[in-house]
Chain A
Amino acid sequence: MSVRIGVEATGGEAAGPAPPSLLRRLTARPELGPFLLLVAELAVFGAINPQFLSPQNIGNVLTFTVELGLIALPMTLLMTSGEFDLSVGSVFGFSAVLMWTLFNTEVLSLPAAFLVALLVAAAIGLANGLFVTKLKIPSFLVTLGMLLVVRGTALFITDGFPQRTWKSSGEWIATVLVGDFYIGPLRVYMSLFWFVLAALLLGYVLTQTKAGNWIQASGGNPAAARARGVDVERTKIALFMLTSVMAALAGIISSIRTSAANPNSGMGYELEVIAMVVIGGTALMGGRGTIIGTVLGVFILRTMRNGIVLIGVPGLAYNIFIGAIILGMMSLHSWLDRRHQAGG
């Protein structure tokens, strides 16, 4: 399968100034591989277990998928700019704990506590960004350190116990963030709407705006970008802040939906999110990113997790499949990349 894609992609490159046909443009895109993989997953799981495509199961998968997706979208922009953030999982857990602690101890109203949690997340992102850009410490080390600090803080302020969130019913902010409703037999949460909105918005930013050009340039060749007057540092700091705030939003949404704010929640999400982003075709080292690819990557991994359980593969085998997908997709992307470079 992958061979055919590559050959046609080069065909698209060689087409020269005449606008390439729609088919050729499609096959030249890095998102095609992930798209076909997702379709294959849906077809195989659906064929083996019809339950897989039931409204109830689709609703279930969507619910948590979009919460991780809310982190993967800004992570795509951050990674395009040449950085990544390992602290998102801890911010996911910490922000919900912070909000509910402020609310349950009657320090603040829920909307005010929500706002404070987002502001604190923004400050965490700012700190990440400053360490990376001003002190020139690699984002791997900075955000690994931040992961420990934030997770440790969440555990410390809660003594390791989950916060109760039972008072959230009737709060308008809970309804806005994660209120549920039915589309026919399909139960969906408001978070789906926020995910779609974020995907459209960030996709627009990355491909259509001046800011998007700066993000790609910052990751592709920071020295060249700087020489053109692009504020590489400010671009990266802004993206660290955005990523952190979105991780907090995802954590809060998740805690309202499950009526639990556990200081341990979000553990390991950072790697799953980064995997989703790179599977979609965004370059780990920056310079190139795709929101469409990330949306596909998010669904590929979550569908796989759901599907293998439904077709009777033990859940413990999940990581084998995920690992194989990552390796397979990375090989495809790197191979397409080389065709691309050589083909022009």
Chain B
Amino acid sequence: MAEPLVRMERISKSYGSVQALKDVTFTVAEREIVGLLGDNGAGKSTLIKILSGAVPASSGEIWFRGRKLEIRGTQDAIAAGIETIYQDSALVPQLSIARNLFLGREPLTGPAFLNRMDKATMNRVAGELLARVGITKRIPPTTPISSLSGGERQSVAIARAMYFDSDLIILDEPTNNLGVAETQGVLRFVRNARDSGHSCIFIAHNIHHVFQVVDRIVVLRRGEVVADAIDPKRTSIEEVERVITGLDEEAAA
């Protein structure tokens, strides 16, 4: 098989005395959607936070397109083409939709020393994106995030990932607290992302959602990888549930 897009190698992470990850090796291929499953506290969020630069690993290496990547902060990950949609939706409630979409990468206009944001472009692009992620109600891009519903906020985060066209899009429980239509929108987005050449890491507690979109399932249990090549087309949901909870090992013992 060809070089994977991302290879996280022997990643360990401790928070004080809590060992959140032990020697985890995890890969994502080009145009692959990987479902990352595991119980509460298994280490899923920790693993993807290391990849997106939000927390440093205690040890281990990250390879991206065959090159070793030093991720010292979120900027490094974003610059490499890794976009993350966090579980605790990472938007600034007081800022408008447009300002949130472009936060950290605001387009400028005029001489550089004026540091002037190109608000016209920001608002126009934001308006177009909102329509594309299926926010049906017409919401002006200058609306503050604080007056949006949970689903609308999630859609804004997704719109951001779409716009910046990152190679790898990480979604940490993007379907939490979403209605049926909004959930379908997220799943459709993930499928479209693969069709247009992106890779995804998809974390969700609802295994049905995971089964609908992913190519491969990786399971973490108490910080360790216990399965890394489950094919959802040949495996039943019940079998995966047993791997997640550890009942499979008890049965074998």
Does B86 sit within 8 A of A, measured CB to CB? Answer: yes
State whether A16 touches B138 (Cβ < 8 A).
yes
A341 to chain B, nearest CB (A): 5
- Interface flags for B78-93 (1: CB within 8 Å of A; 0: not) read 1000001010101111
State whether B147 touches A343 (Cβ < 8 A).
yes
Determine the residue in chain A with the shortest Cβ distance to B114. Answer: A209
State whether B138 touches A340 (Cβ < 8 A).
no
State whether A17 touches B138 (Cβ < 8 A).
yes
Prevailing SS type, chain B contact patch: loop
Measured between alpha carbons, how far is A340 from B147 in the docked complex, in Å?
A: 8
State whether A229 touches B95 (Cβ < 8 A).
no
Selecting from A31-39, A95-103, A172-180, A218-226, the interface stretch reads A218-226
List of A residues within 8 angstroms of B184 by Cβ = none
State whether B74 touches A229 (Cβ < 8 A).
yes
Does B117 sit within 8 A of A, measured CB to CB? Answer: yes
Does A210 sit within 8 A of B, measured CB to CB? Answer: yes
- Contact status of A220 and B92, CB under 8 A, knowing A17-B138, A208-B116, A229-B104: yes
State whether A227 touches B84 (Cβ < 8 A).
yes
Determine the residue in chain A with the shortest Cβ distance to B107. Answer: A210
Measured between alpha carbons, how far is A223 from B92 in the docked complex, in Å?
A: 9
List of B residues within 8 angstroms of A227 by Cβ = 52, 54, 74, 84, 86, 90
Does A228 sit within 8 A of B, measured CB to CB? Answer: yes
Does A8 sit within 8 A of B, measured CB to CB? Answer: no
State whether A341 touches B147 (Cβ < 8 A).
yes
Measured between alpha carbons, how far is A117 from B78 in the docked complex, in Å?
A: 41
State whether B114 touches A221 (Cβ < 8 A).
no
List of B residues within 8 angstroms of A220 by Cβ = 92-95
Does B73 sit within 8 A of A, measured CB to CB? Answer: yes
State whether B146 touches A228 (Cβ < 8 A).
no
Does B227 sit within 8 A of A, measured CB to CB? Answer: no
Measured between alpha carbons, how far is A214 from B117 in the docked complex, in Å?
A: 11
Q: Which of B54-87 contact A (CB under 8 A)?
A: 54, 73-75, 78, 84, 86
Does A65 sit within 8 A of B, measured CB to CB? Answer: no
Determine the residue in chain A with the shortest Cβ distance to B119. Answer: A208
Number of interface residues of A (CB under 8 A): 31
State whether A213 touches B95 (Cβ < 8 A).
yes
List of B residues within 8 angstroms of A13 by Cβ = 147
Does A302 sit within 8 A of B, measured CB to CB? Answer: no
Determine the residue in chain B with the shortest Cβ distance to A230. Answer: B104
Does A216 sit within 8 A of B, measured CB to CB? Answer: yes
A244 to chain B, nearest CB (A): 22
Measured between alpha carbons, how far is A168 from B185 in the docked complex, in Å?
A: 70
State whether B92 touches A210 (Cβ < 8 A).
no
Measured between alpha carbons, how far is A226 from B74 in the docked complex, in Å?
A: 7
State whether B92 touches A229 (Cβ < 8 A).
no
State whether B92 touches A224 (Cβ < 8 A).
yes
Measured between alpha carbons, how far is A17 from B142 in the docked complex, in Å?
A: 9
Measured between alpha carbons, how far is A213 from B103 in the docked complex, in Å?
A: 7
Does A211 sit within 8 A of B, measured CB to CB? Answer: yes
List of B residues within 8 angstroms of A219 by Cβ = 94
Measured between alpha carbons, how far is A195 from B35 in the docked complex, in Å?
A: 57
Does A312 sit within 8 A of B, measured CB to CB? Answer: no
State whether B90 touches A287 (Cβ < 8 A).
no
Does B143 sit within 8 A of A, measured CB to CB? Answer: yes
Max chain A C-beta neighbours (<10 A), residue from B54, B99, B103, B105:
B103
Q: Which of A3-31 contact B (CB under 8 A)?
A: 13, 16-17
List of A residues within 8 angstroms of B88 by Cβ = 223
State whether B91 touches A221 (Cβ < 8 A).
yes
Determine the residue in chain B with the shortest Cβ distance to A287. Answer: B94
List of A residues within 8 angstroms of B75 by Cβ = 229
State whether A217 touches B147 (Cβ < 8 A).
no
B30 to chain A, nearest CB (A): 24
List of A residues within 8 angstroms of B74 by Cβ = 226-229
State whether A229 touches B138 (Cβ < 8 A).
no
- Contact status of A213 and B54, CB under 8 A, knowing A16-B140, A220-B93, A227-B86: no
A–B complex contacts, Cβ < 8 Å, 20 sampled = A205-B115, A208-B119, A209-B114, A213-B117, A217-B92, A220-B93, A220-B94, A223-B88, A224-B91, A224-B92, A226-B54, A226-B74, A227-B86, A227-B90, A229-B74, A287-B94, A341-B147, A344-B143, A344-B144, A344-B146
Binding site for B on A (CB under 8 A): 13, 16-17, 205, 208-214, 216-217, 219-221, 223-230, 283, 287-288, 340-341, 343-344
Chain A to chain B: the 4 pairs with minimum beta-carbon distance, closest first: A344-B147, A228-B104, A224-B90, A220-B92
